[in-house]
Amino acid sequence: MSDRSEADRLQQETWLQRTIRRPEMGAFIVMIVIIVALTWASSGKAFNALGLKNNIQIIAQYGIIAIGAAALMIAGEFDLSIGSMIGFAGMSMALMLKWGLPFGLGEATPLAAFLATLVMTLTFGWIIGNIVVRSGLSSFIVTLAFLFFLRGVTEVAFRLINQSTQVSGLEDFKEDSWVAWIFGGEVFGWFYDAWFWIGQRFVDMGYGRTDQWFTLGGNLNRRGEQWVDGFDARFFWFILLAAVAMFIMNRTQLGNWIYATGDNKEAARANGVPVNRVKIGLFMFTAFCATLFAACQVFENNTSDAAKGNLMELFAIAIAVVGGTLMTGGFGSILGVVFGAITVGLVANAVFFIPEIDGAWFRVFLGAILLAAVFANERIRKRITGGI
């Protein structure tokens, strides 16, 4: 009789094996490949001063909503209303800024417009969540209903209040409202200042010319001054949201509850996890992400229209999947979603840096990588659950 036990049969993994098996590994490798390919194909232009700013703009936009979508998917639900929620929130803020607060409460400050909108979107998130957990219906169909409903409400409200489905030429609130500024202003100016300063030293010493991307190229206006002097404020929000979400998912009790809810909600419930509250909270979180997305858009450009956010729910879900989130819930990583957002954002923008290619290749690429990711994620799931 041997004294071997069950536990001995499990091979101890090395640090390297463990790292390779992490859920975000696939997304990480694809991201690196895309960065290298894009740098090469655009002769570095994709990452010169302006290129970097533009890329980060779209990456942050995708990232903000994909983090919300991923957290909800990990808890086992979908939200197809994200895009329409963006449209609704943008409409709400723009109309209030232009026509004043509802019920004759007077002019709207950016703060009042944002908060009043947030109250509405969070309420919608709460309603969606309650319908899903109480009815037991698939969130796919419930949120599909809200996709149509909210988009319709947005258009109707535009026409009734504004006579037109767009608001443009709002005053630039960033000038004297810090609220407008934190959503629509510029951040991390020091990064570009430092880059410019270093570049200038190189030029002074006679190394390189000003049109080289890594020195001053792309960052000089016609008068030879620094041109790009910061990232969009949404970059800050993206980083903050990603950091907070990562912390919550990996390190807190709430994170454990979110994973438990998505994995097997009956098991979670039997152990005292408040499954319904977790789900409702996450539907409110996706609504929050959509509102943040819209606030950055409105205060950056001082415009909004009824088509804002169209299809964004699908990009959010696609990026969550590319980032390693399981469609069936219970598994996924925010870091992977960040990698996914970088990958998809870079490819979406690639046409601007490589004018020879047809922009529609972006969707071909996204479709292909999405399919590949679904298969890869399914393999991971089978490996963990022993192929059931």
Partner 1 sequence: MATPYLKVENLVKRFGPFTALGGVDLEVYPGEVHALLGDNGAGKSTLIKTLAGVHQPTEGQIYIEGKPVKFRSPRDASSAGIGTVYQDLALNQLMSVTRNFFMGRELKSSLGRLRMDEMNQIAHDEMKKIGIDFSDPTQAVGTMSGGQRQTLAIARAIYFGAKVLILDEPTSALGQKQQMGVLKTMMRVRNRGDIAIIFITHNEIHSKLVADRFTFLALGKVIGAGSKETLEGDEIRRLMAGGANLGDLAAELDEVRAEA
Under the rule (CB under 8 A), what is the footprint of partner 1?
5-7, 10, 12, 251-257, 259-260, 263-264, 266-268, 270-273, 326, 330-331, 381, 384-386
Q: Output 11 or 163, the one with its CB closest to partner 1.
A: 11
Min separation Cβ 375 and partner 1, Å: 18
Q: Output 104 or 272, the one with its CB closest to partner 1.
A: 272
Q: Output 96 or 326, the one with its CB closest to partner 1.
A: 326
Q: How far apart are CA 278 and CA 268, in angstroms?
A: 11
Min separation Cβ 280 and partner 1, Å: 17
Beta bridge partners, 167, equal: 304
Min separation Cβ 253 and partner 1, Å: 4
Integer angstrom CA distances of residue 290 from 61, 92, 112, 113: 10, 13, 18, 15
Q: How far apart are CA 46 and CA 11, in angstroms?
A: 44
Nearest Cα to Cα of residue 212 among 35, 47, 346: 47
DSSP string, 156-214: HHIIIIISSSEE-----GGGT-HHHHHHHSEE-HHHHHHHHHHHHHHHHTT-S-TTSTT
Q: Output 163 or 271, the one with its CB closest to partner 1.
A: 271
N residues, the chain:
388
Min separation Cβ 260 and partner 1, Å: 5
Q: Output 260 or 298, the one with its CB closest to partner 1.
A: 260
Min separation Cβ 259 and partner 1, Å: 6
Q: Output 102 or 274, the one with its CB closest to partner 1.
A: 274
Bridge pairing between strands 304-305 and 166-167 = antiparallel
* Amino acid at the residue 231: F
Instruction: List the Cα angle 28/330/268 in 5-degree steps.
Output: 155
Question: Could you count the other beta carbons within 10 Å of the beta carbon of residue 236?
Answer: 19
Q: Output 266 or 356, the one with its CB closest to partner 1.
A: 266
Q: Output 186 or 263, the one with its CB closest to partner 1.
A: 263
Min separation Cβ 331 and partner 1, Å: 5
Q: How far apart are CA 381 and CA 383, in angstroms?
A: 5
Min separation Cβ 312 and partner 1, Å: 28
Q: Output 76 or 129, the one with its CB closest to partner 1.
A: 76
Question: Could you count the other beta carbons within 10 Å of the beta carbon of residue 126?
Answer: 15
Min separation Cβ 249 and partner 1, Å: 11
| Cα-trace Rg, the chain | 23
SS3 call for 226 = strand
Min separation Cβ 124 and partner 1, Å: 26
Q: At what angle do helices 253-263 and 275-301 cross, to 10 degrees?
A: 110
